[in-house]
Amino acid sequence: MNIKKAYFLTSCVKSSQFPAFSYPEFAFFGRSNVGKSSLLNMILGQKGLVKTGARPGVTQTINFFIVNDNRSFADLPGIGYAKLPLSVKKKFMPMIKEYITSRDNLKLAFVLIDARRTPGDYEHDLLNLLIENKIPIAITLTKCDKLSKNELAKSIADISNTLEIDKKSIFITSTKTNTGKKELLSLIDEFSR
């Protein structure tokens, strides 16, 4: 897949605001500070399109992007490390659940996990919700450049054991080296058909 054009469409906090179109949609989930915005910018080939912040928790809404006028990407709020008021944090999981259960055009969920972290309750809850709603999942490790080859191999083994998934179904990425970009774009192409 070649990305010729991508632009921000809208930010939403509830399903009544979600844009209505029939494009295949691809959603990006992950904890605060996992590198979601940077990964989206890498895939889209535009550095500043998706806001990145020095502090975790920049994404507090569901942000929709149109790609090549025939696909949409959704950037979901991160949960976890962000130093946000509890009242704001408490809205995130219901918002995520509402998104997953209401998007008929959602083709694939990219679940981002920092290669240096062990998945916790958030990842397990999210995966269960996606599986219940029959949404295909791509486990995507971020910040892989921060680990040596041996450390990365151990991390992949630990994550596949923790999540009870095949190691071969885990995608490796690094926004510093563009690792994984081609593979993720091929996957998006495959699920767009």
The pLDDT tens digits for 29-67 are 999 889 999 999 999 998 889 876 555 555 678 999 999
Give the residue from 51, 179, 66, 26 showing the smallest Cα distance to 115: 179
SS3 45: coil
Computed from CA positions of residues 114, 94, 130, 52, in that sequence, does the dihedral angle turn out positive or negative? Answer: negative
Residue 90 — very low, low, confident or very high, per pLDDT cuts 50/70/90? low
Would you state the pLDDT for residue 187? 97
pLDDT tens track for 125-180: 999 999 999 999 999 999 999 999 999 999 999 999 999 999 999 999 999 999 99
Q: Over the range 76-110, which residues count as b (16 or more CB within 10 Å of their CB) and which as e?
A: bbbbbebebeeeebebbeebbebbbeebeebbbbb
pLDDT at 146 (0 to 100): 97
Q: Would you state the pLDDT for residue 1?
A: 85
Bridging pattern class, strands 71-75 and 62-67: antiparallel
pLDDT computed for residue 81 by the predictor: 53
pLDDT at 86: 60
H and E: helices and strands count for the chain: 5, 7
Query: How far apart are alpha carbons 52 and 74 in whole angstroms?
Result: 15
User: By mean pLDDT, which of 19-23, 48-52, 178-182, 186-190 is the weakest?
Assistant: 48-52
- d(Cα 20, Cα 186) in Å, to the nearest integer? 25
Q: Given this model, what pLDDT does residue 173 score? A: 98
pLDDT tens-place string over residues 75-89: 998 876 555 556 655
Q: Which backbone phi and psi does 65 adopt, to 5 degrees?
A: -130, 145
The pLDDT value given to residue 43: 96
- What is the rounded CA–CA span in Å between residue 189 and residue 91? 32
